[in-house]
Structure 1
């Protein structure tokens, strides 16, 4: 029992150690699993979405139109490339400027200058962006252009603040960005996406959480957002949760934003970068590694310099941790192997012990069965002996009482004749006392009682001989001498001298009878007496 208890304790301990070795990331974020799966599938299908984008661009390129429609064509191509590829977008921005100058159209020139400023800000070229936008400083811009102009300046300062990410310069840049965004908000229609989005962004930068939530939750509830607008809204809203305690909600929003970015083939994005950073901090290295690589590929494809710098810093950390995790997994695999081996050895040991115990039990069962059979045989012998004892005790007392009565009668007759002096009559009385007849009567009584105790003796005795040698008593119940010899043997009297004394024969005569009978039997001489002893007495 002690071994079994120790075995169970060891098994539980080994299983507990194995459970502790399971990484936390494998047990976390279970309710977000469908979104993770969706993002993984979207990443796998990214090439398909990009091919749709390329076909869209090609259809614009091959479109034909008048010379006056060339600016619109360049503008469409610029719009298609501005979040997809920096080099192509910048090239078309330059073509927009060239065409605006060729047409000598101030409004088109301002628009082209704004588009160039946007693409420079998006690529992280802040000095060049300021230089491009400074051309428009003091110009008499249309309201729509003023909104875009101030928004670009605000974006530029906000991005510089995020890039510096310190307590010395970032607050000043955020303040400048906020002032420019205040100016831009004056020119946006309050019903449009831009007003709500930049209103929420300004509230986030100023720490006005509830106001920001009101703007962004309103946008998230809208059903008419484009994938790019949804990505912008979700990735910006998650900032409120990243700096708070609800990291799960931040991950949820970034997962949705990342999916929308890939579907819209947006390469200039922060969703995957921020998502990778959060997952890295939560030790979900497998997902963090997958997403940071995708983010880096997108940044390289787009050509965003500041984004590549940001991504490089976290990419090295994630990859080093991934390598460390691989090593841990190898060590865990070895540990699992050792644990599994130990468990197998323990089970093998238990099986060997069980088999050994089963062999002992079988051996004990055989011993018990043998002892039981021996006990049954002994009980049968005892029961048989009791029956024989009861039968012959009755015969003994009856016989003794008859003998006693005869002796008593003979004694009184002698005494009476001695007293009367009739000595001649005494001799006559003595001659009347027939011992031979009494002996014969004694043996007949023995035969009668024996056959009563062993009613099938003669039948089974005859079965040991051929039909011509079998005994048939007929009407008389007396046994032949040779049968009587073996009846005495069946009663347990094996000594030839005792048998000879009981039957009134010499030992030689008894041996002669036995040999003669055995020679007639159909079984061997050695087995004959065993067969005689196997004959059963009467059953109750």
Structure 2
């Protein structure tokens, strides 16, 4: 676990080596690289527009043809060696046609520049040796001595031989002095040459002042900015100002990309620094860009230089990728195990949920059953309470009647009034008493079940619905099913209560059920569903 923690931290750090203000510059560089083809398209479109003028052919004067070819050379000189070489040769032909010695010598300078940029040192030397400085303008002489100085400095960097390098640097310094002697001391050329000399001679402080002064110039081209920023970056790197060094290189690389410059070293040096810092992935991406630029331009010495670094970075990148692959495999295994654990957990959870649902269903059914039972008990309690009161009232009334009737009989017996006794007994009307009993029952029942009659009729067809007479609360059919609703279902008991025969009760029930809208077996169940208050 501890190993994985430090490994994760290491990977994070490798992707955020410069997690500070430099991040925004790297972001800008990466955005510029994404738009690299668009910047190149702009340059190619500009070149194509210039080339269109060459199609005029014989209509162009030699002077105009020289100017157009010169423009095309300027476009190509840091973009593509082959095309620049082609237009440099074309310029030689035109300069001979117009018989202008000054232009002929200047064309050699142009040819020498691209030969040196391409890494063709011998050919560069031959061209530079053939130039007659006396035929050059003052500015062209500065370019001549500067280019010759750069030739010897580049040779020193390329060979890195203890004996010859010293000699090359000395010759380069001498030629730089020749150029500086005819320059304005505050000019770009003078400061650039002085900075280069100071850098070669180890005067880092002097070189820093020179390049910092140059970078303050407002009219620098992107290529000039990139060259001087790269040089100052080298000085900063050797003086311990790592952050400033990297920022300058990134800015130089951005300038090269946006100006579609292929003859460049900024992104190569940046890749080398990033590799040494441990950011192999970014270094690999940048050095591939550097190789693509060098190949496109045709810079042979750059390709050799990149070829010495690229395999090392590629090897490290492959090691990093392999390490990441193994790490990914470990993560995949862990993720798989975790996934299986999650699946198992989900499976167990689903099973438990099913059990809980089943238990919940049983509980709900039990609760529903219990609620139904409670409702029945509540209803039974209501019925019981009402009918207990009703029972005691009836009993109390009949006891009072019996007591009065007893006293009346006793008085008549004491007085010997036998005839009056018969008359008193004849006044007792049992049918009327029973009707009064039924009326009391009806009142109590309808108090408990006020919707009984309408609920009962809802089970019958319209033509068979029971219609009660005025003042009538219930009839015999309704009372039979009223008794059933309060729980008296035995036909014998119903018959005794209503003073009917059992057959009569059967007949009433059968007749009603035949008229119902539900099947006979469900009729009494529907009666039981009629709610009490």
Please report the TM-score for the alignment, with normalisation by the length of structure 1. Answer: 0.65
2:27: which partner in 1?
30
Deviates further, 107-116 or 206-215: 107-116
Distance in 2, matches of 1:469 and 1:227, equals 108
| Residue 160 of structure 1 pairs with residue 155 of structure 2 | yes
Pick aligned residue for 1:245 from 235, 242, 263: 242
Pick aligned residue for 2:390 from 385, 389, 395: 395
Distance in 1, matches of 2:343 and 2:271, equals 47
Residues 227 and 252, structure 2, Cα contact 8 Å, conserved in 1: no
| Residue 221 of structure 1 pairs with residue 216 of structure 2 | yes
Residue 193 of structure 1 and its aligned partner are, at CA, apart by 2.7
Residues 293 and 315, structure 1, Cα contact 8 Å, conserved in 2: no
Distance in 2, matches of 1:411 and 1:32, equals 125
Root-mean-square deviation over aligned CA pairs: 6.2
List aligned pairs for 1:62-101, cutoff 5 A: 64=62, 84=81
Residue 473 of structure 1 and its aligned partner are, at CA, apart by 4.7
Distance in 1, matches of 2:404 and 2:253, equals 131
Distance in 1, matches of 2:76 and 2:43, equals 16
Residues 29 and 254, structure 2, Cα contact 8 Å, conserved in 1: no
Deviates further, 174-183 or 125-134: 125-134
Structure 1, residues 181-220: CA drift from partner, whole Å, max 9, x if none? 4465334331433211101112223444443343233333
In structure 2, relative to structure 1, the CA distance for the partners of 1:398 and 1:219 (3 Å cut) is: same
In structure 2, runs of 5+ residues without a counterpart are: none
| Residue 41 of structure 1 pairs with residue 32 of structure 2 | no
Distance in 2, matches of 1:32 and 1:457, equals 90
Distance in 2, matches of 1:55 and 1:112, equals 22
Distance in 1, matches of 2:175 and 2:362, equals 103
Residues 500 and 510, structure 1, Cα contact 8 Å, conserved in 2: yes
Residue 168 of structure 1 and its aligned partner are, at CA, apart by 8.4
Residues 196 and 219, structure 1, Cα contact 8 Å, conserved in 2: yes
1:186: which partner in 2?
181
Distance in 2, matches of 1:238 and 1:111, equals 32
| Residue 507 of structure 1 pairs with residue 474 of structure 2 | no
1:258: which partner in 2?
256
Deviates further, 466-475 or 186-195: 466-475
1:5: which partner in 2?
none
Residues 454 and 536, structure 1, Cα contact 8 Å, conserved in 2: yes
Pick aligned residue for 1:203 from 193, 198, 201: 198
Distance in 2, matches of 1:331 and 1:47, equals 45
In structure 2, relative to structure 1, the CA distance for the partners of 1:48 and 1:273 (3 Å cut) is: farther
In structure 2, relative to structure 1, the CA distance for the partners of 1:431 and 1:294 (3 Å cut) is: same
In structure 2, relative to structure 1, the CA distance for the partners of 1:60 and 1:122 (3 Å cut) is: farther
Distance in 2, matches of 1:532 and 1:108, equals 124
| Residue 286 of structure 1 pairs with residue 285 of structure 2 | yes
In structure 2, relative to structure 1, the CA distance for the partners of 1:465 and 1:310 (3 Å cut) is: closer
| Residue 526 of structure 1 pairs with residue 521 of structure 2 | yes
Partner SS, residue 532 of structure 1: helix
Distance in 1, matches of 2:108 and 2:467, equals 143
Residue 385 of structure 1 and its aligned partner are, at CA, apart by 3.3
Deviates further, 143-152 or 481-490: 143-152
Residues 252 and 266, structure 2, Cα contact 8 Å, conserved in 1: yes
Residues 239 and 250, structure 1, Cα contact 8 Å, conserved in 2: no
List aligned pairs for 1:263-412, cutoff 5 A: 267=263, 269-271=264-266, 273-278=268-273, 282=279, 283-284=281-282, 285-300=284-299, 304=300, 306-317=301-312, 378=373, 381-409=376-404
Structure 1, residues 364-420: CA drift from partner, whole Å, max 9, x if none? 8877876776666556544543443333222222222223334445666788899x7
Residues 49 and 262, structure 1, Cα contact 8 Å, conserved in 2: no
Please report the TM-score for the alignment, with normalisation by the length of structure 2. Answer: 0.66
Residues 229 and 249, structure 2, Cα contact 8 Å, conserved in 1: no
Partner SS, residue 36 of structure 1: helix
Residue 467 of structure 1 and its aligned partner are, at CA, apart by 7.1
Distance in 2, matches of 1:314 and 1:433, equals 137
Residues 286 and 322, structure 1, Cα contact 8 Å, conserved in 2: no
Residue 499 of structure 1 and its aligned partner are, at CA, apart by 1.9
Residues 93 and 115, structure 1, Cα contact 8 Å, conserved in 2: no
Distance in 1, matches of 2:522 and 2:104, equals 133
Distance in 2, matches of 1:230 and 1:154, equals 20
In structure 2, relative to structure 1, the CA distance for the partners of 1:89 and 1:156 (3 Å cut) is: farther
Residue 295 of structure 1 and its aligned partner are, at CA, apart by 1.0
Structure 1, residues 313-350: CA drift from partner, whole Å, max 9, x if none? 23444566677788889999999999999999999999
Distance in 1, matches of 2:178 and 2:518, equals 131
Distance in 1, matches of 2:221 and 2:378, equals 105
In structure 1, runs of 5+ residues without a counterpart are: 1-12
Residue 30 of structure 1 and its aligned partner are, at CA, apart by 1.3
